[in-house]
Amino acid sequence: MRSALLIILSASYLLVVSACRHPQTSSPNTKEEPLTDLLEGNKRFASHHATHPHSSGERMKSLEAGQHPPIAVICCSDSRVPPEIIFDQGLGDMFVVRTAGNLLGGLEIGSVEYAVEHLGVKEILVMGHRECGAVKAFIQGGATPGHIRDIVDSIRAEQEIKQVPGNDKNLLNDCIQANILHGIHQLKKESAMITEKIREGKLQIHGACYDLTLGKVVIIRE
């Protein structure tokens, strides 16, 4: 009898330890505050306590039938800014669109619209980062080869960028922030679908900037 009781207690202990090591997380499409979840993940990453959730074979298997990410993240292609890592997220947690300078054209906006209309995305995050090479290229000027010129010309044409004084002491950082705000304004202006979802209270758009040195993401207010 005593042996049986010890076996039961040992099994219960192992279940508790397993649950602590591998906490159950809600399915992505049930998260009510997706941005908050991302920011909490970024705190873990920046403090070197990332948990690397939703990376198991079981998670991969569960997503075979479809995806329902609660948030879309538009960010730069810079290799130092992988959103899944800096937000400590995993498979199926985010719908990600990446371009140099987090720039948006028809294809990128269409991708975001797909996430909103067909995948049920509730929030959109437009994220730039410190020391952005695309914005630096615009500020430095000079000749740009090939289609890199298209990137620089796109940034130069942004109204928010034009409003930043050329003698600004924080020119690079202020231009990066202006570029982020442009992405938000562009989505609202060029996508009737996104505008309608916002009007209905079914969608929110946020801006953010990632600090390469600190590993932290800061929300940018309009």
Q: Which pLDDT score, from 0 to 100, does residue 114 have?
A: 98
At 2-53, the pLDDT tens digits run: 444 333 334 443 333 333 333 333 344 556 699 999 999 999 999 999 999 9
Which strand (E) or helix (H) includes residue 191? none
Say if 214 falls within a structural domain.
yes
Query: Number of folded domains in the chain?
Result: 1
Say if 107 falls within a structural domain.
yes
Q: Measuring CA to CA, which residue among 190, 14, 34 is closest to residue 119?
A: 34
Q: In the chain, which stretches have pLDDT less than 50?
A: 1-28
Residue span of the structural domain in which 150 resides: 27-220
Say if 148 falls within a structural domain.
yes
Q: Which pLDDT score, from 0 to 100, does residue 222 have?
A: 84
Say if 1 falls within a structural domain.
no
Q: Which pLDDT score, from 0 to 100, does residue 196 have?
A: 97
Say if 48 falls within a structural domain.
yes
Say if 150 falls within a structural domain.
yes
Say if 15 falls within a structural domain.
no
Say if 10 falls within a structural domain.
no
CATH number, residue 36: 3.40.1050.10
